[in-house]
Amino acid sequence: MSEIPILSGKENMDVKAIHQFLSEESYWAKGISFEFVDQSLANSFCAGAFIDGKQVVFGRVITDYDTFGWFADFYVLH
């Protein structure tokens, strides 16, 4: 099995792919704008897994980085 890198930080996420999934595939964010997704990632702790350079897992934590974290927008592509 090849290595599956897990990266964090918005700068390492495929924001276009995340937006596509959330706006077209998810039931909880259907139709959400790219700008809204982009801003939400900028204000969250983001993590994702990648296979052959393609993001296949995404999740973000809305957090104060001290006592609170809310896990949101988590998905795994098959």
**Does residue 9 surpass a pLDDT of 70?**
yes
Paired tokens of 28: 């909880």
Q: What is the pLDDT of residues 39-52, one digit of tens each?
A: 999 999 999 999 99
Q: What is the pLDDT of residue 3?
A: 86
Which domains, ranges and CATH numbers included, belong to the chain?
Answer: 6-76 (3.40.630.30)
Residue indicated by tokens 């996420």: 13
Decide if 15 contacts 37 (C-beta within 8 A).
Answer: yes
Decide if 41 contacts 54 (C-beta within 8 A).
Answer: no
**Does residue 30 surpass a pLDDT of 70?**
yes
Task: Quickly state the pLDDT bin for 2 (edges 50, 70, 90).
Answer: confident
